[in-house]
Amino acid sequence: MFVSIFLLGLCVCFLLLQLQPRRPKNFPPGPPCLPVLGTLLHLNLENPLKDFERLRESYGNVYSLFMGSKPAVVINGFKAMKEAIVTKSTDFAGRPQDLFINDLMQTKGVAMADYGPIWRERRRFALMNLKNFGLGKKSMEERILEEIQYIIETLEKNSGNTVSPQVMFHNAGSNIICQLLFGTRYEYDDETIKLIVRCFTEITKIINSPWAMRDDDSTFSEEHLTRTTFDLYIAGTDTTSNTLLTGFLYLMNYPHIQEQCQQEIDRVLVGKDRVTFEDRLSMPYAQAVIHEIQRIANTVPLSIFHCTTKDTELMGFSIPKGTMIIQNLDSVLREEGQWKFPHEFNPENFLNEQGEFVKPEAFMPFSAGPRVCLGESLARMELFLIVVTLLRRFKFIWPEDAGEPDFTPVYGVTLTPKPYRMKVQLRSKQ
């Protein structure tokens, strides 16, 4: 009996050893692996960003994890990030094809399609039609400014009172992309748009989740169009609205920055009915504030997972083809040596000694390379026009009875501030 138990124990131990993931030769180092679980016990799955930073301190800017038996390489810091997604961009431009979101999307669309001719066709199609629908043109600017009027109406109704901005900003972002894609908008209290925003918010929470681990040779079709529309809607709503929520949270609690921004806005727009996107060139401080909001918000901290398209090297390590790549953008946007004030909200991060706007190379909230966010130009236009228009008309104040602000974001594929209220006051006519 004892011999049988002993032999069974040996078999179990042997089986577990066989199941234990092993790092290939010259693969980036990382924490010890367990059979089946890999290195998942080293991460807080509700918010792994602090764990990523802790592992970076132990293993360097390029280290490896195992999601079960599947290896992944985490890239940290500007130098490693630039080598991977800019210098060797095509080597790292793939998408993992065994995630749950791929089953959901059936590899249709553009965001999750693997790198290659089909992806290039879809991205070219998306960019071409976005431009045809007005992206980057005056017509797009007009649509955004029209939507801002609905935000203004909402805030004017609540002038002197407090308002919860979450639904307002989410619906505004949704309406702008709906105008672009479908030629229609929804009232802020419309039940349809409330459901759409809620569904897409929930979907974005699971796209890159570690627990979401689960041959497309067709050309473009109506189904691909539907999936691409899905990609563009996600890219144009949650990220922008969460950036706005973060921005006004900080502007209320840094009133001197809000006031200095308003002074520049008043000076540049004197005699004008409304702002234009071109006015940004005359507003270095406002530009610095908006870019600092994007840096501190870090709305998509891990971007969308990449994978290697061939055997390659990174920072002296060997990375086999098909390895999942996780970009820790937080490590770049708050990296010591890349920013004057990496750990505080300060527009000086984007101003030189002459007070001119400068954009450091480490500013990559949209990622970089061939997989850079499709909605970058739309987001930049939205953020500038909305922030400047609202700051010109209103003063935003942290409510006296709200207690201390909590800047800790809620983690998901996108980071979002915890719900808060803001007091709104009409400014005098400029």
Do the Cβ atoms of 371 and 304 come closer than 8 Å? yes
Structure tokens at 224: 């691909």
pLDDT at 38: 80
Could you tell me which residues come within 8 angstroms of residue 116 by beta carbon, excluding any fewer than 6 positions away? none
**Rounded distance, CA 109 to CA 216, Å?**
11
DSSP 8-class letter at 346? -
Percent with pLDDT over 90 in the chain: 49
**Rounded distance, CA 394 to CA 391, Å?**
5
Mean of pLDDT values over 40-53: 83
pLDDT at 423 over 90: yes
pLDDT at 213: 42
pLDDT at 200: 58
396, β-bridge pairs: 424
Reported confidence tier of residue 73, pLDDT bands at 50, 70, 90: very high
- pLDDT tens digits, one per residue of 340-350: 999 999 999 99
Fold of 19-426: Cytochrome p450 (1.10.630)
Instruction: Compute the half-sphere exposure of residue 355: CA atoms within 13 Å on the CB side of its CA.
Output: 7
- pLDDT tens digits, one per residue of 182-239: 667 766 677 766 666 666 565 555 554 443 447 444 455 555 555 566 666 666 677 8
- pLDDT tens digits, one per residue of 363-416: 998 888 888 877 788 889 999 999 999 999 999 999 999 889 999 988 876 788
**Rounded distance, CA 30 to CA 59, Å?**
6
- pLDDT tens digits, one per residue of 94-128: 888 765 444 444 445 666 676 777 767 777 767 66
Which secondary-structure segment (H or E) carries 116?
A: none
**Rounded distance, CA 115 to CA 394, Å?**
45
Burial 23-41 (b: 16+ CB within 10 A, else e): eeeebbebbebbeebbbbe
pLDDT at 236: 62
Structure tokens at 84: 């991977």
> Domain spans of the chain?
19-426
pLDDT at 336: 94
Mean pLDDT of the chain: 82
Pairing relationship of beta strands 394-397 and 422-426 according to DSSP bridges: antiparallel
Do the Cβ atoms of 405 and 152 come closer than 8 Å? no
